[in-house]
Chains A and B, each alone.
Chain A
Amino acid sequence: MSQLSITAKRAGWRFASSLPALFGVLVFTFLLMRVLPGDPAVFFASGPTAGKEEIETIRKQMGLDKPVPEQLLRYLGDIGTGNLGRSLTTGQPVLSDLKSRLPASLELTFSALLIALVTAVPLGVAAALRQGSGIDHIVRFICALGVCVPTFVSGLLLIYVFYYLLGFAPDPTGRVDIFTSPPPLVTGFLLIDFALAGDWEGWRAAASQLVLPAFTMALFVVAPLARITRAAMLASLGSDFVRTARSLGLSRRKVIVTYALRNALLPVLTIAGIVFSTMLGANVLVEKVFSWPGVASYALDALLSSDYAPVQGFVLLMASIFVLVNLTVDVLYGIADPRVSVE
């Protein structure tokens, strides 16, 4: 019980201490957007008859007719009431846009991370066990390829091969085949919602739609995960406790899995947390290539058209997720290695 309360206290303190950072992000993004060149009102008033009057209307609508400090105060007040403003690109409130798009990004990122972990950990372990051998080189080569091929290249390549040439994959647009009716909205995660509705046909459609983008994304992050696994595994294989375990005559399997791998997983966990947060934002190209209705492509569109509200909303969302992920990793870390939480 005391272990749990220590963890909770720690988590609470960590969360509270990240609030100033979130506030800083908020203000910084706000100012940054206003410093960037380009007047959104002029951009959006680009209709064939757009004149001064229309530009003024849009400026007023976006609240840009007020001085910047006042805009900032208003913005902070709005955020306090949960209003993130309205996107001119989609015409919808930013909050509802993000709400409807976040599950898409999360589902893709979780799947990709799962694929990446399942692939990278065994690869890293294999490379560490046979250091300097052919396997090690192959793993290194795969990692190099994964990192140096940009996601939009690998994405387009996968589409070309598996959709265009071979015809195995469904058409690479969106989260589910356009002719499949979506499940009743519960979590926003299609795989979960379809399963809850008992619609397995729909579930298959959604899952098959997910395969290519998730693989594209996974390819990109296999490298850091595999390299960290390899390094951590090497460190742990060379450490005293493994030598001791070996000298006790324990089976090779027990030594590797229980003693070496369990300890090696700690840094992998940390990296997985970081990788997860960066993936959410770095998804943008994958989301573009696969017409995935996620938050990253949404933010990019908004940024290109100087649509302030969605960009600010997106950055705030990302910062919050980063804080949450770090918190989760911290807590997990504490559970995995009790020494960490004794502070």
Chain B
Amino acid sequence: MTIVRTGWLAAALLTSTALLASPALAQTRAETLRHVTGAAINTLDPNIPGSTREAFGLSLLTYDRLLSFGRKQINGKWVFDLDSIRGELAESYTVSPDGLKISFNLRKDAKFHDGTPVTAEDVKWSLDREVSANVLGKGQLLTGSLTSPDQFKIIDAHTFEVTLPKPDKLALANLAVVYPVIINSKLAKSHATAEDPWALNWLKDNTAGSGAYIIESYKPGETTILRRNPDWNRGSADKPASFKRIITQTVPEAATRANLVEKGDADIVIDLQATDAADLEKKGKLKVVSTPQYNSITFVSFNNQMPPFDKIEVRRAIAAALPYDDMFKAALFGRGAPLYGASWPDGKAPTGEVFPIPQPLKTDLAEAKKQLAAAGLPDGFSTTFSFNVGQAGTAEPMAALLKESLGKVGIKVDIQKLPDAQMSTLINEKKLPFFTEGIVAWLPSMDYFYRNFYIGPIRWNYASLDDAKITEWAQAARFEADKAKYAALGKDLNTRHFELMPQIPLWQPAQDAVMASSIDGYVYQFHRQIDFRDLSRK
């Protein structure tokens, strides 16, 4: 009888769709890049609190910054390079020998979308806005010692100078992230009001940039269509961007995104389920660039201030009881870079220039029991393990394996699945004892990780770690100009991290970019979005 039903349905659908099928519009498709994503762009100004990652990605296309990151290869995959910073609106820049003055020579041919030339005045207004207005850039630029309008000086129409209170390694890098966009100041000022001197309201729904693409239509939560800016020449070999049009469309269902790209109706997608990405890779029809996100970490974290996790032995017991390999396979199908299973023969970290590094951890239940006994909890204890619903796809299988394995050493775990907003709230209030989270650092330098994720009462210090040595070394590393001394500090930090085990770094998940085989030039970017200026069609 199922046959009767499907037959009836098929007949009805067949007639209707065959009648209605519209002819393919081949010509426009060739010059257009269609990108599908699960999330939505919710503002055109990346600085508005609440901006989504999609909005960050968009701002990189519509606006220029003074500087941008170069690229490098890690294991054959192109990724952004924190150490190679090149000019975008700046033709060139020079840093004074004491590292306190950076001067920028601006491109003389750069124009905003409305045709007016980009001048040092626009740069000054835009950067003043970043450090004065209530915008996201304010907190970010602080990490590069950029805090006050007094630091920004117009020398002449095309020369601009930034002064730093201390030589800061991340000052330049901070000028290349998504926030410090250079805005057409005359246009923006004409829409500013007394209560809103920085035109935050207007720029939310309008762009005033000089970037590679111009907004053609913007429907929040649905589609954003971009048209190429023919005058833009900040790309490779001073050419405009390759695609004439870019369509970014929100498609909430992951399976549908996979279908679309496989059928060739969409050109590129980066947020598929790991299974779909693996499946499409196996079929071999599409290009799959799977890059371990070298600036991100997935953790199992504990609140180090809350018993029993305030005991090192308890944290070490859990680190010894986790089924790492099984979790990695079940959660990510092995797509990514593991941060366990290293060997440190002398118990010291092998390197100090970078963090995270693989930890010498493996599943060892006997060791876990020993540690529990040393903590005075030979029979184990009960606790809850939380994760947010948004990450259920990867966190659910992982949590189940964790529960099973910890049960073997007497730790009884209740799994708690929390809505995203509730999880953020509990983390912010430091109320979760034991949970999993992921972090991303836009500027993945060793000291940046330690300063932002292991110090102070801030929310990103998931482990609520308060260790005098880590705090001191991380702050010292920030301004350490001598490379050897920096690496030595890092080595100490990495070793101390392992000894304290404030949280357990598990892996760096892969970013799977699945695209038509004709698409070329994909680079993994710091903001984990696609920089469409990199892409072209062969």
Show the binding face of A for B, using Cβ within 8 Å.
Answer: 37-40, 42-51, 53-55, 57-58, 61, 88-92, 97, 100, 138, 141-142, 145, 156, 158-164, 167-174, 177-180, 201, 204-205, 207-208, 211-212, 215, 219, 288-291, 293, 297-298, 301, 304-306
When A43-B421, A138-B4, A164-B259 are in contact, do A174 and B40 touch as well, CB less than 8 Å?
no
When A138-B1, A178-B247 are in contact, do A43 and B134 touch as well, CB less than 8 Å?
no
Residues of B within 8 A of A162 (CB): 13, 17
Residues of B within 8 A of A291 (CB): 249-253, 256
When A162-B17, A291-B253 are in contact, do A91 and B220 touch as well, CB less than 8 Å?
yes
Q: Are A49 and B220 in contact (CB under 8 A)?
A: no
Q: Are A92 and B252 in contact (CB under 8 A)?
A: no
Residues of A within 8 A of B484 (CB): none
Residue with the greatest number of chain A CB neighbours at <10 A, chosen from B143, B420, B428: B428
Write the nearest CB–CB distance from B427 to chain A, whole angstroms: 8
Write the nearest CB–CB distance from A337 to chain B, whole angstroms: 33
Write the nearest CB–CB distance from A130 to chain B, whole angstroms: 15
Q: Are A170 and B21 in contact (CB under 8 A)?
A: yes
Cα separation A305 to B49 with both chains bound (whole Å): 14
Residue of A nearest to B264 (CB): A171
Q: Are B50 and A91 in contact (CB under 8 A)?
A: yes
Cα separation A38 to B429 with both chains bound (whole Å): 11
List, sorted by A's number, 28 A–B pairs whose CB atoms are closer than 8 Å.
A38-B422, A39-B428, A42-B421, A42-B459, A47-B139, A48-B140, A48-B440, A50-B139, A54-B136, A58-B50, A89-B40, A90-B40, A90-B221, A141-B5, A162-B17, A164-B259, A164-B262, A164-B263, A171-B263, A172-B256, A180-B22, A201-B22, A205-B20, A291-B250, A293-B221, A297-B252, A301-B221, A304-B419
Q: Are B13 and A168 in contact (CB under 8 A)?
A: yes
B18 lies within 8 A of chain A by Cβ:
yes
When A89-B42, A91-B42 are in contact, do A142 and B5 touch as well, CB less than 8 Å?
yes
Q: Are B17 and A211 in contact (CB under 8 A)?
A: yes
Residue of B nearest to A287 (CB): B252
Cα separation A82 to B15 with both chains bound (whole Å): 45
Q: Are A205 and B22 in contact (CB under 8 A)?
A: yes
Cα separation A219 to B8 with both chains bound (whole Å): 12
Residues of B within 8 A of A201 (CB): 22
Q: Mark B223-267, 1 if CB is under 8 A from A, else 0.
A: 100000000000000000000000101111101100110110110
Q: How many A-B residue pairs have CB under 8 A?
A: 189
When A162-B13, A208-B17 are in contact, do A178 and B223 touch as well, CB less than 8 Å?
yes
Cα separation A208 to B49 with both chains bound (whole Å): 39
Partner of B22, one of A47, A170, A211: A170
Write the nearest CB–CB distance from A81 to chain B, whole angstroms: 19
When A57-B49, A204-B20 are in contact, do A211 and B13 touch as well, CB less than 8 Å?
yes
Q: Are B48 and A159 in contact (CB under 8 A)?
A: no
Cα separation A162 to B17 with both chains bound (whole Å): 9
Q: Are B428 and A42 in contact (CB under 8 A)?
A: yes
What interface size band does chain B fall in? 35 or more
Q: Mark B196-236, 1 if CB is under 8 A from A, else 0.
A: 00000000110000000000000111110000000000000
Residues of A within 8 A of B21 (CB): 168-170, 208
Residues of B within 8 A of A141 (CB): 1, 5
Residue of A nearest to B179 (CB): A49
Residues of A within 8 A of B219 (CB): 100, 293
Write the nearest CB–CB distance from B401 to chain A, whole angstroms: 26
Q: Are B421 and A38 in contact (CB under 8 A)?
A: yes
Cα separation A334 to B256 with both chains bound (whole Å): 46
When A48-B442, A163-B263 are in contact, do A177 and B22 touch as well, CB less than 8 Å?
yes
Q: Mark B9-31, 1 if CB is under 8 A from A, else 0.
A: 11011101111111001001100
Residues of A within 8 A of B440 (CB): 48
Residues of B within 8 A of A297 (CB): 252
Cα separation A37 to B431 with both chains bound (whole Å): 13
Residues of A within 8 A of B363 (CB): none
Q: Are B422 and A159 in contact (CB under 8 A)?
A: no
Partner of A39, one of B134, B139, B424: B424
Q: Are B249 and A174 in contact (CB under 8 A)?
A: yes
Q: Are B424 and A46 in contact (CB under 8 A)?
A: yes
When A170-B21, A178-B249 are in contact, do A51 and B458 touch as well, CB less than 8 Å?
yes
Partner of A91, one of B16, B28, B204: B204
Write the nearest CB–CB distance from B384 to chain A, whole angstroms: 15
Cα separation A48 to B22 with both chains bound (whole Å): 44
Q: Are A305 and B260 in contact (CB under 8 A)?
A: no
Q: Are A89 and B420 in contact (CB under 8 A)?
A: no
Q: Are B13 and A306 in contact (CB under 8 A)?
A: no
Write the nearest CB–CB distance from B77 to chain A, whole angstroms: 22
B65 lies within 8 A of chain A by Cβ:
no
Q: Are B20 and A207 in contact (CB under 8 A)?
A: yes
Q: A171-B259, A204-B22 are in contact. List 11 more A-B contacts (CB 8 A).
A: A38-B419, A40-B421, A43-B421, A51-B458, A58-B49, A91-B205, A164-B262, A174-B223, A179-B29, A298-B221, A301-B221
Residues of B within 8 A of A164 (CB): 259, 262-263
Cα separation A158 to B389 with both chains bound (whole Å): 27
Partner of A288, one of B16, B48, B220, B252: B252
Q: Are A173 and B424 in contact (CB under 8 A)?
A: no
Top 8 closest A-B pairs, CB basis? Answer: A38-B421, A208-B20, A49-B139, A38-B422, A306-B421, A90-B220, A44-B50, A43-B421
Which residues of B, 33-73, contact A by the 8 Å Cβ criterion? 34, 36, 40, 42-43, 48-51
Write the nearest CB–CB distance from A126 to chain B, whole angstroms: 13
Residues of A within 8 A of B4 (CB): 138
Cα separation A178 to B245 with both chains bound (whole Å): 12
Residues of A within 8 A of B251 (CB): 173, 291
Q: Are A45 and B50 in contact (CB under 8 A)?
A: yes
Q: Are B143 and A49 in contact (CB under 8 A)?
A: yes
Cα separation A174 to B13 with both chains bound (whole Å): 18
B441 lies within 8 A of chain A by Cβ:
yes
Residues of A within 8 A of B48 (CB): 91
Residues of A within 8 A of B442 (CB): 48
When A90-B42, A173-B260 are in contact, do A39 and B17 touch as well, CB less than 8 Å?
no
Q: Are B253 and A288 in contact (CB under 8 A)?
A: yes
Write the nearest CB–CB distance from A103 to chain B, whole angstroms: 13
Q: Are A168 and B17 in contact (CB under 8 A)?
A: yes
B116 lies within 8 A of chain A by Cβ:
no
Residues of A within 8 A of B17 (CB): 162, 168-169, 208, 211
When A54-B139, A170-B22, A291-B250 are in contact, do A92 and B425 touch as well, CB less than 8 Å?
no
Write the nearest CB–CB distance from A341 to chain B, whole angstroms: 38
Q: Are A168 and B223 in contact (CB under 8 A)?
A: no
Q: Are A39 and B421 in contact (CB under 8 A)?
A: yes
Cα separation A171 to B269 with both chains bound (whole Å): 15
Residues of A within 8 A of B22 (CB): 170, 177, 180, 201, 204-205, 208
